[in-house]
Amino acid sequence: MIVYLDLIWLLNLGIDFLLIIGTALLLKRKKNYVRIGMASLVASIVVFFMFTPYVTFFMNPIVKFFYSCMIVFIAFGYIRFTYFVQNLAGFFFLTFVTGGGLFAMHYFFQSELDLTSHLPGFGGSTISWTFVLIGFPLVYWFSKQQVDTFKIKKVQANDLATVEIVIDDFRFETRGLVDTGNQLKDPLTRTPVMIMEADLLHPLLGKQQTDDMLTMSTKENHPFMHRIRLVPFKAVGQKQPYLTAFKPDQVTIYYDGEQFVTKRVLLGLYGEALSPEGHYQTIIHPQLVISQVS
């Protein structure tokens, strides 16, 4: 069997460099390309020891761990212990995810059982090299997208609240997102406006009367006529410069282990889904969960 050691080292050098760069991007660290290059070089040198009597030593998990610590230290330095641990954990995470993703992709597309015949450096075909060079960025991109998605969902989950709305004898609960970017208020009374999906009113008013409120075509006998307010509002896809809002009897918000009860609030109707995944149906004005609004 012919082993192209220089090609194996070159491939590992490139992958190590991309892993360290990926760790910096994932953790939003400042990138020092000289240090990253040195760390990649140190990481790739281990390839040469795999073909010496020292291979057993370098295959030891403890040695691997401390070798990884050295790589991370060279690449990012040491500011404080937590900073170093975060860098090390990010490096391990990206390495495991990328390696596992490539391994899974290889077996997914593999039609033969002879794995060694397709490994770079072991007389493998150019397809194996192309697979690694193309597959690595794809797996990294996919992993980063998933991590960013999880972060967004975690932030949203922390900002979700249970909202109880009372209108006459009608009482219902829904989920709301506390959005610090929602600063919408009635310009005359300075009353906070909470956006809600219009569909929530269907059990009380029915679809037709709810749609009449959305299009501002309500008649004098509409049950909400005395509650309706018009609030200046502009949004993407919004044809009218106003938002139809109405005054409920009471709104109770359960957020972060506390209960906020208020009657000084307007509910603005929105004709589309606020969350494509259905995680929440209202957008809560932050003032409503900062202090008790009477």
Q: Which residue out of 16, 179, 211, 212 is catalytically annotated?
A: 179
Strand partners, 252: 164, 261
In sequence order, which ranges of 110-192 are alpha helices (DSSP H)?
126-158
Tokens of 174: 């829904």
Say if residues 148 and 159 touch (Cβ distance below 8 Å). Answer: no
Say if residues 262 and 227 touch (Cβ distance below 8 Å). Answer: no
From CA 198, how far away is CA 208, in angstroms rounded? 11
179 is catalytic: yes
Helix (H) or strand (E) holding 286: none
Strand partners, 259: 254
In sequence order, which ranges of the chain are alpha helices (DSSP H)?
5-27, 33-49, 55-58, 61-76, 81-109, 126-158, 202-205, 207-214
Tokens of 5: 């050691």
> What letter represents residue 140's amino acid?
Y
The residues that are catalytic are 179
